[in-house]
Structure 1
Amino acid sequence: MNEMSYDVLRMITAEHVDALASGATLLGSGGGGDVTLGSMLLRRMLLEDEGAAAVPVVGAEELAADALVVHAGVCGAPDVLAERLVDPDDCAQAVEAVVAQIGGRLAAVGVIEIGGLNALMGVVAAARLGVPVIDGDLMGRAFPRLDQATLTIAGHHIAPMAVVGPLGDTVVVTRSSAAAAQALMVSSAAAFGGAATLAMFPAAAGTLVDHGVRRSLSACVGLGRVFLSVDGDAPADVVAERIGGRLLCEGRVDQVRPRSGREPGSITLIDRRSGSVVRVDHMEEYLAVTIDGRTIVRAPEVIVALDHRARCPIRTDEIRFGQSVVLATLSALHPWPPEAVEAVGPVAFGLHLDEPVP
């Protein structure tokens, strides 16, 4: 992938929302949830009297090493999250519940994952609380599980964790393993009607310098700006190159096999240029691309599917038989260590593939 340059953010204003949402959708790798309502909410907060006109953005290295950062977002069923507008007060309540367990003063809010809806929800929480948002996140893309966060892989605790429902009901977990925290988060969201706000991963800024994904908020906005500026009539390879990616395939969807429980689904395409058979494995996100039996790319690299005509990203749940699709890949924002492959690679989703072909 070509390196894409971007400006370092110092604040998020209403003018950044479209680019943030666009970049987050691309980094969602086909998952992470619909950003539409989140972008509407954040724009309203920044334009009206819901919060400050701008949210300060700081790098973790700019704070005192022991400054407290709590990460905020949402969880739940994608269809519920796409229809239920989140209350910013719930975001604030979740963060405050974690701070109450830790003690001390909140210095900033962190983003859990820079892919999908949660890229915006961390900013929403920071805006409501009147604190900066960290220029970084814990995944460098979208992943569905808490054990796939950089802090979890580095051995740091998820809890204290707070899950807040739309009526203000709050579940606080003071101590938990990663597996239990995941189950408690999912079950709490289900009990609250299918979706909830949450806060977790309280961490010192110095810990984020060592183990967080740094400057990913700036990278997300920069990626979104470039994508939005690309001519809609530009060839697919030009689009991929402009966003710092690599074109994999242009073709028609020939088969859709939905995921079943914990078993990944797949999409089969026929490349219109070469006639090759292309398989895309997926769960919530796209996980791997195999061309004529050879694995070309796999998670944690980001796989992007674009509508061939509209040039807009397509989520895994939006793929349909007969659809014309452009596939491209973006390199991961985070240099995952080899030992992290079992947590963030295809094997973490039950896929056992060969090593990618360069």
Structure 2
Amino acid sequence: MNGTRRTSPHPTAAAPAGLNRLTPADLPALAAGATLLGSGGGGDVALPARLLRHTLAAAPVPVVPAAALPEDALVVHAGEAGAPDVLSERLPCAEDFARAVRAVETATGRTADAVGIIEIGGLNALAPALAAAELGLPVLDGDLMGRALPRIDQTTLALDGHPACPFALTSPAGDTVLVPTCTPRAVEPLLHADIAALGGAAALALHPVTAGTLRTSGIPGSLTACVRLGERYLAARDTPPAELAARLGARLLCAGRIDELRPRRGAETGSVTLHDHRDGAVVRVDLLDELLAVTVDGETLAATPDIIVAVDAAGHAPLRCDQLRTGRTVLILHLPALHRWPPEAAHLVGPRAYGLTLTPATGKTPAPAGAAPERSST
């Protein structure tokens, strides 16, 4: 690595039940769990997994919960920004993430004590560990979404009114853009404009906040929960569909062939229609960047922000939205959420955020699995 490693002035003791470091042995489960929590989106984890395998072989990355850091410890969140197809070919390197974090440090006048995870679904579950290793810092056992979500304003910090600025973007060419301040509604448009100017892909650092803030406005334990989910999946992926669902704590909503695919059009949602070969039910799955809702015979049984996953019926490999094809036989699973968003977040992460008018059936949502209890917005 090219960066200068630093030693955090704060201790990095992890909670007893959580991870205390990431090692090469954790990587298959981390990648598998992140793919499931991507809910059909979040980008391909293959390339960051290869980079992280090399990084972890050199040295494990410490993992620390916000509760183990001092109240005023600074956490800067890092991830990758850009179109998934561009990121699959032009993934920023570890030094790019470090440059973006350093730019935010310069803007705040403080040095980071840990690197935070923006979203625990998809490739951004892995990227912060690259940044942490390059900077010689721990990665936080927690995130801001509890899954993959497409917009940067769909975070617990944004819901609670904490600004994303200052934020920085660094391209694979080494160019860095810093936005020291902006209104909340300008963050997403500015990100899109800057990413386009930087070639379609960039390392992102944003939401510099204290550990104390994350104790009330973050989602604790989600990195550990992601790895544990991946472990259960890897142990169960060769089992029959009902057993796979049971081991994941999920509901098997559909097992059938995709009969119709209606592609998304820009910001307009698309859908796939299936016939469940078990009982003949007609199943519609709404999608955009992620799988958004499952409606069975006219009744919506699952919807965002709950986690909906499509897996190939033959090998049980999780599928991204862009891998769904007419004629393909898939299983549709409804996984327990890592985080229960409060009702006032419905406009931000619920079906309405994507222009869908749906009301999920009551009493059919799996209980949360292992990360955080329901929280209230402040």
TM over 0.5: yes
Conserved? CA contact 1:135–1:214, under 8 Å: yes
**Whole-angstrom CA distance in 1 between matches of 2:103 and 2:283:** 47
**Aligned twin of 2:276:** 271
* Residues 297-308 of structure 1 aligned to structure 2 (within 5 Å): 297-308=302-313
How far did 1:237 drift? 1.3
**Whole-angstrom CA distance in 1 between matches of 2:337 and 2:280:** 28
**Aligned twin of 1:18:** 28
**Whole-angstrom CA distance in 2 between matches of 1:332 and 1:355:** 14
**Aligned twin of 1:219:** 225
**Aligned twin of 2:131:** 125
Aligned with residue 114 of structure 1, among 98, 113, 120: 120
Give the SS at the match of 2:272.
strand
How far did 1:78 drift? 0.8
Q: Deviations over 1:245-303 (max 9, x none)?
A: 11111000000001111110001010000100000001100010000111001011000
Matched, 1:329 2:334: yes
Give the SS at the match of 1:45.
helix
Conserved? CA contact 2:61–2:132, under 8 Å: yes
How far did 1:352 drift? 0.7
Give the SS at the match of 2:25.
helix
Pair 1:263–1:231, CA change in 2 (3 A): closer
Conserved? CA contact 1:13–1:55, under 8 Å: yes
Give the SS at the match of 1:206.
helix
**Whole-angstrom CA distance in 1 between matches of 2:135 and 2:123:** 19
**Aligned twin of 1:294:** 299
**Whole-angstrom CA distance in 1 between matches of 2:91 and 2:82:** 13
**Aligned twin of 2:260:** 255
How far did 1:186 drift? 1.5
Amino acid at match of 2:102: E
Matched, 1:91 2:101: no
How far did 1:179 drift? 2.7
Matched, 1:156 2:162: yes
**Aligned twin of 1:35:** 45
Amino acid at match of 2:124: N
**Whole-angstrom CA distance in 1 between matches of 2:189 and 2:72:** 30
**Whole-angstrom CA distance in 1 between matches of 2:195 and 2:101:** 16
How far did 1:231 drift? 4.8
Amino acid at match of 2:311: L
**Whole-angstrom CA distance in 2 between matches of 1:231 and 1:104:** 45
Percent identity of paired positions between Structure 1 and Structure 2:
53
**Whole-angstrom CA distance in 2 between matches of 1:320 and 1:355:** 26
Conserved? CA contact 2:100–2:168, under 8 Å: yes
**Structure 1 stretch displaced more, 7-16 or 308-317:** 7-16
Conserved? CA contact 1:71–1:109, under 8 Å: yes
Conserved? CA contact 1:111–1:136, under 8 Å: yes
Residue-pair matches, total = 348
**Whole-angstrom CA distance in 1 between matches of 2:86 and 2:216:** 35
Amino acid at match of 2:254: C
Give the SS at the match of 1:117.
helix
How far did 1:354 drift? 2.4
Conserved? CA contact 1:298–1:356, under 8 Å: no
Conserved? CA contact 2:92–2:201, under 8 Å: no
How far did 1:32 drift? 0.4
Conserved? CA contact 2:152–2:188, under 8 Å: yes
**Whole-angstrom CA distance in 2 between matches of 1:315 and 1:170:** 30
Pair 1:197–1:231, CA change in 2 (3 A): closer
**Whole-angstrom CA distance in 2 between matches of 1:231 and 1:110:** 30
Conserved? CA contact 2:52–2:130, under 8 Å: yes
Amino acid at match of 2:111: R
**Whole-angstrom CA distance in 1 between matches of 2:131 and 2:186:** 25
Give the SS at the match of 2:26.
helix
Long gaps (5+) in structure 2: 1-15, 365-378
**Whole-angstrom CA distance in 2 between matches of 1:104 and 1:264:** 42
Long gaps (5+) in structure 1: 1-5
Q: Compute the TM-score of the two structures, normalised by the length of structure 2.
A: 0.90
**Aligned twin of 1:177:** 183
**Whole-angstrom CA distance in 1 between matches of 2:45 and 2:274:** 26
**Whole-angstrom CA distance in 2 between matches of 1:266 and 1:281:** 4
Conserved? CA contact 1:146–1:178, under 8 Å: no
Amino acid at match of 1:12: L
Give the SS at the match of 1:71.
strand
**Aligned twin of 2:201:** 195
Q: Deviations over 1:192-242 (max 9, x none)?
A: 22111110000000110101010000000010111111151x111110111
Amino acid at match of 1:138: L
**Aligned twin of 1:71:** 77
Give the SS at the match of 2:153.
helix
Q: Deviations over 1:301-354 (max 9, x none)?
A: 000100000111000011000000000011221121110011000100000112
**Whole-angstrom CA distance in 2 between matches of 1:171 and 1:104:** 19
Amino acid at match of 2:138: P
**Whole-angstrom CA distance in 1 between matches of 2:62 and 2:264:** 40
**Whole-angstrom CA distance in 1 between matches of 2:283 and 2:151:** 27
Across the aligned residues of Structure 1 and Structure 2, the Cα RMSD in angstroms comes to 1.1
Q: Deviations over 1:62-85 (max 9, x none)?
A: 000110000000011111111223
How far did 1:7 drift? 4.9
